[in-house]
Amino acid sequence: MQRHSLTKALFVLPCLLAFVMVMLVPFFYGLFYSLTDWNGVSDSINFIGFAHFGRVFTQPGFLYSFLVTIAYTAINVVLVNVVGFALALLVTGNLRFRNFYRAGFFAPYLIGGIVLGYIWQFIFNNAVPALGAALASQSMQVSLLSRADAVIWAMSAVNTWQYAGYVMLIFIAAIQAIPVSLMEAAKIDGAGYFRRVTRILIPMTANAFTITLFLTLTTSFKQYDMNFTLTRGGPAARFLDQPVNASQLLAMNIFNTAQANHMAEAQAKAVILFVALVVVSLVQVSINKRKEVEQ
Amino acid sequence: MTRRRLAAKVLAEALVVLLLAVFLIPFAMVVVNSAKTSKDILFHTLDLPANWGQLFVNIGLIFNNRTVHYANAFLDSALITFFSLAVIVLFSSMCAWALVRTKSAWSTILFFAFVAAMVIPFQVLMFPLVRWMRVLGDLIHFKLLQSIPGMVFAYLGFGCPLSIFILHGFIKNIPYELEESATIDGCSQARTFFEIVFPLLQPIIITVLILNGIWIWNDYLLPLLMLGSNGAVQTIPVAVTAFAGAYLKQWDLILTSTLIAMLPVIVLYLFAQRYIIKGMIEGAIK
């Protein structure tokens, strides 16, 4: 028996070692640094308490990033899930090439945020205006990425394009797990398509919604790559009488703060992001779980 | 009634084809414009290329560029992805199995720690990580920053929580009797795992490979911070941003470099599409 538990301990060791070294230790350092005056250059690091946490909430740039990230996340959660669910409904229907369609809708998920940011920057800044010129449409010739009021929506559209196919696959798995007899019985009882979707499909896929809402929420909240290559935070906007970057999400605000050698302040902002993320996702999961139980 | 149903079916087919076109047009835009000169891209954005041979001229420009070593980045990305996936699959399966088959407070605490760590955003630990990797590297006299083994080690650490979580759920449903009889026959624990359990994990390992593979190949911030923006070791996403930074608005180069970055993934997807979709759906239920 002794020997058995030794084997198992050795089996756990490689993952545990890597996990502790690259996640746990830096995580606790990260919490600690947020309470110091670390600047990334000097080796002397002094404890200063919660000073950064009070200060960052007086910065219009940070407040704006925080609010715009919440708005962006809310838009994404709705758009990605509605589109993903609609796609799942379509491709679980009686179509001829449904596997082909599934593969096509999922394809954008394979492309990373960096690459697709450039692709869509080209589409918004070059392809759409060219189409606008061909159609003699004035409004299409102004890039959405240069309009402070529209840029978040453009980013959400790109995000939906990337994640809807992935979310669709999760919904497909859930829909396929519903017994066919249930849908057939409802059909015989005279329930129309819309009724069958709202009364059977959506309640029966409640556990899938728990997963997809969690995924869309957390990925939007932490988004950096696509934000960086699509807009770099631009265009300029004003908030509380101060100049801010219209599409600078929280993750980019953190990164730029650190690049300006305000490491400890960046850490404090990151800790705020972490706490917000935990609170929001705990609320989301507990609401969804309650909905699952009610069914 | 049948007529209405037929109409609905035709409508659904038309809708799905239209949507698919919307989803795939961006890919077409990249391919078409990668085969143009930068002047043609600006003045004939929506036209088909005048000469498809330009595509190979552009690809040549990318690979022969002196500022960004694209071929090296390609090789480094491939090596990092390959070795990271190998260690993630091997060690996560071993760890998940040991955790499932040990009934103790420790195994519960460890599993909980792995799962809980999944909510930690990368932003909280990315800067301390770089500092810590430098300190740790000096301590053990092994270069963890700007090195491929260092990247692989980091990906094992960041990739194993989700992988262990997925594998844990799968292993729980494997009947214990299989292993029990092997143990009674005198099979050691390690052999039981490698000869009986590991082969059974194959379907879920595909899921683990796909999820981690897509993430690692496309990951940006971790290689940027650990390898630097223009170091000796570089990954594809970092090289693409280096291109875009050095050749501002030169869409012939930028689009071609994105095309080359996507190509391996797309080709793999075309061949293994059925397994990838199936693996993703299987992973979703767990």
Q: Which residue has the higher pLDDT, B201 or A291?
A: B201
In the predicted model, is pLDDT for residue A17 greater than 80?
Answer: yes
Q: Reduce the DSSP state of residue A151 to 3 states and report it.
A: helix
Q: Which amino acid is at A34?
A: S
Contacts of B12 in chain A (CB under 8 A): 90, 93, 95
B203: distance to nearest CA of chain A, Å?
Answer: 15
pLDDT of residue B78: 95
Could you report the per-residue pLDDT of B133-162, keeping only the tens digit for each? 999 999 999 999 999 999 999 999 999 999
Phi, psi of A261 (to 5 degrees): 65, 15
pLDDT of residue A138: 85
Tell me which fold the domain B70-285 belongs to.
MetI-like fold (1.10.3720)
| CATH no. of A53-294 | 1.10.3720.10
Cβ of B30 and A109 within 8 Å? Answer: no
DSSP A213-272: HHHHHHHHHT--HHHHHHTTT-SEEEETTEEEETT--HHHHHHHHHHTT-HHHHHHHHHH
pLDDT of residue A85: 96
pLDDT of residue A295: 55
Could you report the per-residue pLDDT of B64-94, keeping only the tens digit for each? 988 888 999 999 999 999 999 999 999 999 9
Instruction: Please list the pLDDT of chain B residue by residue as tens digits (286 residues).
Output: 578 778 888 888 899 999 999 999 999 999 999 989 888 888 888 888 888 888 999 999 999 988 888 999 999 999 999 999 999 999 999 999 999 999 889 999 999 999 999 989 999 999 999 999 999 999 999 999 999 999 999 999 999 999 999 999 999 988 888 888 888 888 888 888 998 899 999 989 998 999 899 999 999 999 999 999 888 899 999 999 998 988 888 898 999 999 999 998 899 998 888 888 888 877 766 5
B28: distance to nearest CA of chain A, Å?
Answer: 11
Residues 6+ apart with CB under 8 A from A45: A33, A36, A37, A38
B125 part of contact set with chain A, CB < 8 Å: yes
pLDDT of residue B91: 98
Residues 6+ apart with CB under 8 A from B89: B163, B205, B208, B209
Could you report the per-residue pLDDT of A170-222, keeping only the tens digit for each? 999 899 888 888 888 888 888 888 888 888 888 888 889 988 999 999 999 99
By Cβ distance, the residue of A7, A102, A115 closest to B258 is A115
Q: CA-to-CA distance for B240 and B238, rounded, in angstroms?
A: 5
pTM: 0.93
In the predicted model, is pLDDT for residue A1 greater than 50?
Answer: no
Place of tokens 């359990």: B197
Total residues found in chain A within this entry: 295
Cβ of A113 and B241 within 8 Å? Answer: no
Contact A160, A80 (CB under 8 A): yes
Cβ of A270 and B121 within 8 Å? Answer: yes
By Cβ distance, the residue of A21, A90, A91 closest to B157 is A21
Side-chain-facing half-sphere of B74: CA atoms under 13 Å: 15
Query: Chain B window 188-207: which residues touch A at a Cβ cutoff of 8 Å?
Result: 188-190, 193
Q: Reduce the DSSP state of residue A36 to 3 states and report it.
A: strand
By Cβ distance, the residue of A4, A18, A118 closest to B153 is A18
Q: Nearest Cα to A113, choosing from B41, B191, B214, B172?
A: B214
Arithmetic mean of pLDDT over chain A: 91
Q: CA-to-CA distance for B146 and B152, rounded, in angstroms?
A: 11
8-state DSSP, A145: G
Q: CA-to-CA distance for A192 and A187, rounded, in angstroms?
A: 7
Residues 6+ apart with CB under 8 A from A13: none
Cβ of A99 and B274 within 8 Å? Answer: yes
8-state DSSP, A199: I
Q: Which residue has the higher pLDDT, A138 or A169?
A: A169
pLDDT of residue B285: 60
A241: distance to nearest CA of chain B, Å?
Answer: 28
Residue ranges of alpha helices (H) inside chain B are: 2-34, 38-43, 53-63, 70-100, 105-117, 122-140, 148-171, 177-184, 189-191, 198-200, 202-218, 221-227, 236-246, 251-285
Cβ of A274 and B154 within 8 Å? Answer: no
Cβ of A270 and B124 within 8 Å? Answer: yes
pLDDT of residue A3: 54
pLDDT of residue A293: 65
The percent helix, strand, coil of chain A (3-state, each to 5) is: 75, 5, 20
Tell me the average pLDDT across A145-169.
94
Q: Reduce the DSSP state of residue A47 to 3 states and report it.
A: strand
Phi, psi of B217 (to 5 degrees): -60, -40
Contact B127, A258 (CB under 8 A): yes
What stretch of H or E contains A165? helix A151-176
Q: CA-to-CA distance for B227 and B208, rounded, in angstroms?
A: 25
Tell me the average pLDDT across A253-273.
94
Contact A223, A251 (CB under 8 A): yes
The domains of chain B are located at 2-63, 70-285
Phi, psi of A244 (to 5 degrees): -135, 170
Could you report the per-residue pLDDT of A110-135, keeping only the tens digit for each? 998 999 999 999 999 999 999 998 89
pLDDT of residue A157: 96
Q: CA-to-CA distance for A173 and A91, rounded, in angstroms?
A: 12
Cβ of A166 and B280 within 8 Å? Answer: yes
Here the tokens at position B257 are: 């470099």
Here the tokens at position A71 are: 């708005």
Contacts of B129 in chain A (CB under 8 A): 22, 26
Q: CA-to-CA distance for B152 and B117, rounded, in angstroms?
A: 19
By Cβ distance, the residue of A3, A25, A173 closest to B285 is A173
